[in-house]
Amino acid sequence: MAQNDAMSEHPFAEYIRILGRGKKGARSLTFDEARSAMTMILADEVEPVQLGAFLMLMRVKEESPEELAGFVKAAREVLSLEGRLLPRAMVDWSTYAGKRRQLPWYILAALLLAENGITILMHGTRGHKDDRIYAPEVIEHLGLPLCRDFAQVEEQIGIRRFAFIELERFCPKLKQILDLRGKFGLRSPINTLLRMINPLSAPFLMQGIFHPGYRDIHQQAALLLGQPHMVVFKGEGGETERNPDTECKILTVDDGVAREETWPAKFTRRHLRNEHMAIEHLCAVWRGEIEDEYGAGAVTGTAAIGLRLLGRASNGPGADRLASEMWAERPRDRFGARRPDADA
């Protein structure tokens, strides 16, 4: 390599320098800078050491709404998701955290909404933590397919009004970067980006986060991206699942207007951690073979947030009542003991 080539600055160094100049010199990226940086990352135009430095500098600083919006915009452009003829879904539902204290009741909440005419795309992946249950495992146990591509997503939405696709099926590069968490020991901006990527441009976006401070970031980023409708709240375990034991602060966007609501806890006492975490328990509760006060509260509470987002109810109590009625009338013959690859 010539001397001048060895000493020349890599184009991506500009973005690391902006973030890493120190307490007085560092600043957040603008929307355009964040968009350009993520475009380079997804195009494999960044050295591994640069990627690690960038992700961890962002992790320490935490994303601004402009940075998050820029990252999402870049991802959608690189994936050619914008302007492409894709299946239609009313609701986008991301699931990347995994559950370890309570079962993933949010999956039943999504299926309950689908049973009542609401089309949903759920996307996620398996994580590296052995003490958590991730959505793909549950989807397979329920006898539902993990879609291999968007053509199968369209097919499943037509059949069930619900489809699940793994991240590695529509963006292997983001999956690769997400899996670096095992090396860093920390989450990165990719975890935040994936909650907003909304691959089918669904008009309604359901998001759960773990750190309460990210609610405002997601809400403001949604406004910057022109997302018509969205809701974000602190979900149980970081998933899009209402914890019925605690008060729930909900931030929304509705046709460009940002709003905030606080919903009370559904129960006066806290329930114990689920020590067994058996997926079959979810199925048995759906079928009505056993009762689970917490589980039913989590399912109906989460579905109620979806109904409120969709305008099916004018307030929290009305949404809770409607979700409870749907739960009482659910078709209980679903999700029997079937082979993981069954596709009824």
For the stretch 74-108, pLDDT in tens is 999 988 766 566 788 999 999 999 999 999 999 99
Whether the per-residue pLDDT at 124 is higher than 70: the answer is yes
**In this predicted structure, what is the pLDDT of residue 82?**
60
Say which residues have a Cβ less than 8 Å from residue 256's Cβ, sequence separation at least 6: 223, 226
**What confidence tens digit (pLDDT) does each residue in 300-336 have?**
999 999 999 999 999 999 999 999 999 999 999 987 5
Give the best-scoring range by mean pLDDT among 171-185, 292-306, 325-339: 292-306
Is the confidence at residue 344, as pLDDT, over 70?
A: no
Residue 3 has pLDDT above 50, yes or no: no
Tell me 330's DSSP state. Answer: -
For the question of whether the overall pTM of this predicted structure is more than 0.95, the answer is no
Q: Is the pLDDT of residue 116 over 50?
A: yes
pLDDT of residue 256: 95
Domains defined for the chain, CATH in brackets = 10-78 (1.20.970.10), 91-328 (3.40.1030.10)
- Determine which of 42-51, 79-88, 165-174, 179-188 has the lowest per-residue pLDDT on average: 79-88
Strands 257-263 and 248-254: antiparallel
240: tokens are 């899009």
Q: Cα separation of 27 and 153, whole Å?
A: 41
Instruction: Tell me the mean pLDDT in the region 282-290.
Output: 95
pLDDT at 184 over 50: yes
Per DSSP, the residues of 114-141 read: HHTT--EEEEE---S-TTSB-HHHHHHH
pLDDT digit string, tens, across residues 230-246: 999 999 999 999 999 99
Tell me: pLDDT of 112 over 60.
yes
pLDDT at 339 over 80: no
Torsion region of 335: left, alpha or beta (phi above 0 gives left; psi -120 to 50 gives alpha): left
* Mean pLDDT confidence for 61-81: 93
Asked whether the beta carbons of 178 and 125 are under 8 A apart, the reply is yes
- Give 342's pLDDT tier (boundaries 50, 70, 90): very low
Work out the pLDDT band at 43, boundaries 50, 70, 90.
very high
pLDDT of residue 98: 94
- DSSP-derived 3-state class of residue 136: helix
Report pLDDT for 84.
Answer: 62
pLDDT value at residue 78? 87
Q: Contact at 8 Å (CB) between 107 and 138?
A: yes
**DSSP summary character for residue 272:** P
Q: Which residues contact 273 (CB under 8 A, 6 or more apart)?
A: 101, 102
Q: Say how far residue 50 (Cα) sits from the centre of its chain.
A: 26
